[in-house]
Amino acid sequence: MTTPAAVAAARIHGRHDVRVGREPVATPGPGEVLLRVTGVGLCGSDLHWFEEASIGDALLSRPLILGHEFGATIADGPRAGQRVAVDPANNCGRCEPCVEGRANLCLAMRFAGHGTTDGALRTLMTWPERLLSELPDAIGDDEAPLLEPLGVALHALDLGPVPPGGRAGVYGAGPIGLLLVQLLRAQGVSTIVATDRLSHRVAAAKSMGATDAFLVDAEAGSSFSPQRLMARQVPVDVAFEVSGSDAALSDAIWAVRPGGRVVLVGIPAGDRTSFEAAVARRKELPLLECRRMTASDLPRAIALVAAGSIDLASLITDRFPLVRAPEAFAALADRRGLKVIVQPDAE
């Protein structure tokens, strides 16, 4: 392949300010390869960057190329032409968490589309070859970006394993919540409760395996609506909060049984979370935070999808070429569908 001198890239410059331009192609460093990006998924963390120009305590310090859920084709070297899924977490391998085998907690992490590390919303990019996993033919280019959120869902499930024949709740039915519903169904969990404040997500949760799916109000203060009361009255062994809202966490705490477990997967706006302490204390609940995925989760995700255990294609509702990236972010902010995919190679 002849490498062009410049390619298209989408950078966020501030709140609601995404611009597409032409940029020089980076040269691969030691251990890196050049990738032609085939698909990028936009997720909740990208929405934080778009709406707040920040996520948690990380602030936008310069125009940043977002995109950490992506698939690509290797463009150079011995593996040229190979389709791959990409782990966006480039850990240092030397800090204490890395040495302990918890690389997702790396103290010197370079994460695609975060901080000062540019992500995948561009036609060509470089990335470490060790973080690439070959894709089987059974997984399409548009589906590849969903392997990273599936990896996050797998990590969440590892943090909150559901006992055989047990019951689980998924409070927030966005893409990761829906992937959790599918994983729980594949494991044979007997009761799967799912809630969301958007009706199309509730319907998707039901179609993907939830045994009980409820449309709830957006605010925690609406705690006595009939739907919210019904959702809270289905007791679960493990509750997954996948919304980032206090309302969803409140539902999770009320629904989980005494001595159960709550796993927080969602990222709150403004970097603050609150909950009813008395309820959680009476139940002696551990609240576990889920941090991205571990190194083993991407290969596990690929194997599950290739085996037909998880359906990724049904989550994709919107596709945009890179030149329409601002529209893609507007669709993400509108929450009108499920998963938004940007196709950089569709220029």
Q: Tens digit of pLDDT for each residue in 324-334?
A: 999 999 999 98
Residues 180, 320 contacting (CB under 8 angstroms)? no
Give the pLDDT of residue 32: 95
The stretches of the chain forming alpha helices (DSSP H) are 44-52, 96-99, 147-159, 175-186, 199-207, 226-232, 246-255, 277-282, 297-306, 325-334
| Phi, psi angles (nearest 5°) of residue 284 | 50, 60
Band of the pLDDT at 137, cuts 50, 70, 90?
Answer: very high
Packing angle, helices 147-159 and 297-306, rounded to 10:
110
Band of the pLDDT at 269, cuts 50, 70, 90?
Answer: confident
pTM here is: 0.92
Residues 106, 91 contacting (CB under 8 angstroms)? yes
Band of the pLDDT at 1, cuts 50, 70, 90?
Answer: low
Give the pLDDT of residue 346: 65
Gap between the Cα atoms of 322 and 82, Å rounded: 22
Gap between the Cα atoms of 216 and 231, Å rounded: 8
Query: Across the chain, how many H-helices and E-strands are there?
Result: 10, 19
Please say if the pLDDT value at position 347 is more than 60: no
- Domains in the chain, ordered, with CATH? 6-143+312-346 (3.90.180.10), 150-289 (3.40.50.720)
Does residue 303 or residue 232 have the better pLDDT?
A: 303
46-70 confidence digits (pLDDT tens):
888 888 878 777 888 889 999 999 9
The residue-averaged pLDDT of 280-306 equals 92
218-260 confidence digits (pLDDT tens):
665 555 566 777 777 788 999 999 988 888 898 899 999 999 9
74-83 confidence digits (pLDDT tens):
998 889 999 9
Give the pLDDT of residue 218: 62
186-211 confidence digits (pLDDT tens):
999 999 999 999 999 999 999 999 99
